């Protein structure tokens, strides 16, 4: 039977190099970006994935010994990882199959028993200009053949778009039985020997992505290296479109946090290592990551999901006269709150002055919070239990009616205010009443801001100011208000 429709769902690493107890989810977009500080295991994730499959026919053949070569100081014994994957074998669909890889004396399972999928890996070596690898000191003679196939014309077009140059021809040059690419650019012909490293890298990636068979997994280490922001952004958009067209999965590492702006088409996964666990944040902002690797900037710190929640917390702190004492940082998706609080605990940091605020529409009960914490803080010993209890106490939420998100709820609060004397508030109320149904929950607030032409941060602040005048406000922020009140009042010197 033909193996097809392969999809990588997740990677769990118990131990591999410096990775410890790591879980990475690849669901969502077909493209995943792995971010994180140097030395936190981004490349190790790619190496593990490169070795997890055997090729179907013409893919690359990577073995664990290629990336985890035993040495005097590192035998890689006790390494253990697991992938969850889906595939079709003829008419039979196999979903969420788990394959375990471990090394005692040798790696198991045997290579012939590994799942099949075409894998293509791009290491940092692909960034070295070809001329630096060429050993000849004399003239290099080569023959040239223009490639006029449709797929290579598409590659030329996409490269022109990414690098802002008008590429006219794609050539294959042959010298001493070795082939390398070349291009014609507005009357100038040159080979990979004369390409810049960034240009050469773009052509390498595009050639592989556009020629890869359906359902292939493509791994790219440091995609951003040697590319400026605009070229990197355009390249990601191009390979995303191709991944949709050919059912590819692409995983790349990057140091460039500007990739977060593409979170609508890219899974953002941030890795941060502590002494006992490697944390993975999903769709997060740099704030939470920076906090784990830095110091607490103010006496009190509050982590929130997004800028709307930040405006709400800022208003509560201002009402208590302690805004200057509070640092507000965003962690992104709600699931990251559990990862962030656990990260501080694993780093042996005190969290008594740290609060993690959920919007209240997910993980809304204590039971759901405990279940999630058990997945991040594993173990049954006393330390794990103490960490889970401490984390639970540090997580609070806005009080929302059941099955409603914060934006439509607060929109409803504004709509029922009626007439007020403040002209600006009245205009916000009128704009809210013009919005009957929004196509996405955030639009209930975003549309008000756009209708009135506010700068986003200014608009959020004005909307929160208005909501804070209503009877619903006190109940909505009650838990956050109580925590801040207990923390701020002792820190404010009496007049």
Mean pLDDT computed over every residue of the chain: 90
- For 347-380, what is each residue's pLDDT tens digit? 889 999 999 999 999 999 999 999 999 999 988 9
- For 438-462, what is each residue's pLDDT tens digit? 778 889 999 999 999 999 999 999 9
212 vs 291, which has greater pLDDT?
Answer: 212
Reported confidence tier of residue 135, pLDDT bands at 50, 70, 90: low
274 vs 479, which has greater pLDDT?
Answer: 479
pLDDT at 132 over 50: no
Reported confidence tier of residue 195, pLDDT bands at 50, 70, 90: confident
Reported confidence tier of residue 415, pLDDT bands at 50, 70, 90: very high
pLDDT value, residue 133: 47
348 vs 72, which has greater pLDDT?
Answer: 348
pLDDT value, residue 254: 95
- Mean pLDDT throughout 9-37? 95
pLDDT at 340 over 50: yes
131 vs 291, which has greater pLDDT?
Answer: 291
- Choose among 98, 121, 118: nearest CA to 45: 121
Reported confidence tier of residue 196, pLDDT bands at 50, 70, 90: confident
- For 303-312, what is each residue's pLDDT tens digit? 999 999 999 9
pLDDT at 493 over 80: no
């Amino acid at each position: 039977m033909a193996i097809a429709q392969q999809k990588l769902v997740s990677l769990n690493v118990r131990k591999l190099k410096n990775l410890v107890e790591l879980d990475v989810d690849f669901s969502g977009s077909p493209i995943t970006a792995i971010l994180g500080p140097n030395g936190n295991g981004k490349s190790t994730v790619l190496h593990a994935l490169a070795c997890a499959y055997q090729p179907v026919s013409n893919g690359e053949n990577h073995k664990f010994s290629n990336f985890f070569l035993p040495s005097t100081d590192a035998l890689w014994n006790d390494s253990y990882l697991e992938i969850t994957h889906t595939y079709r074998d003829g008419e039979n669909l196999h979903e969420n199959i788990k394959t375990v890889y471990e090394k005692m004396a040798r790696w198991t399972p045997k290579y012939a028993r590994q799942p099949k999928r075409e894998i293509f890996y791009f290491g940092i070596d692909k960034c070295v200009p070809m001329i630096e690898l060429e050993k000849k000191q004399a003239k290099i003679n080569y023959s040239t053949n223009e490639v006029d196939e449709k797929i290579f014309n598409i590659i030329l077009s996409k490269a022109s778009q990414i690098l802002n140059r008008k590429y006219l021809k794609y050539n294959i040059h042959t010298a001493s039985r070795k082939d390398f690419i070349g291009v014609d650019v507005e009357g100038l012909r040159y080979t990979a020997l004369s390409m810049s490293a960034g240009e050469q890298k773009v052509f390498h990636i595009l050639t592989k992505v556009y020629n890869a068979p359906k359902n292939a997994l493509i791994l790219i280490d440091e995609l951003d290296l040697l590319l400026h922001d605009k070229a990197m952004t355009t390249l990601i958009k191009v390979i995303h479109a191709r991944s949709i067209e050919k059912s590819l999965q692409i995983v790349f590492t990057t140091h460039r946090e500007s990739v977060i702006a593409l979170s609508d088409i890219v899974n953002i996964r941030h890795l941060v290592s502590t002494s006992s666990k490697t944390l993975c944040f999903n769709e997060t902002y740099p704030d939470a990551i920076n906090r784990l690797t830095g110091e607490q900037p103010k006496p009190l710190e509050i982590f929130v999901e997004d800028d709307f929640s930040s405006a709400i917390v800022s208003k509560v702190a201002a009402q208590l006269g302690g805004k200057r004492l509070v640092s507000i940082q965003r962690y992104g998706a709600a699931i990251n709150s559990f990862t962030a609080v656990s990260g501080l605990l694993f780093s042996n940091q005190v969290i008594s002055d740290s609060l993690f605020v959920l919007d209240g529409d997910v993980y809304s009960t204590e039971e759901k919070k405990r279940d999630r914490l058990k997945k991040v803080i594993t173990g049954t010993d006393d330390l794990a239990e103490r960490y889970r209890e401490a984390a639970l106490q540090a997580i609070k939420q806005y009080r929302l009616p059941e099955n409603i998100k914060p934006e439509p709820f607060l929109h409803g609060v504004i709509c029922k205010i009626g007439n007020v004397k403040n002209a600006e508030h009245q205009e916000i109320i009128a704009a809210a009443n013009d919005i009957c149904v929004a196509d996405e929950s955030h639009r209930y607030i975003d549309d008000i801001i756009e209708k009135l032409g506010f700068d986003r941060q200014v608009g959020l602040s004005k909307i929160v100011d208005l909501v804070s005048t209503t009877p619903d406000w006190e109940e909505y922020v009650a838990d956050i208000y109580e925590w801040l009140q207990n923390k701020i009042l002792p820190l404010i010197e009496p007049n």
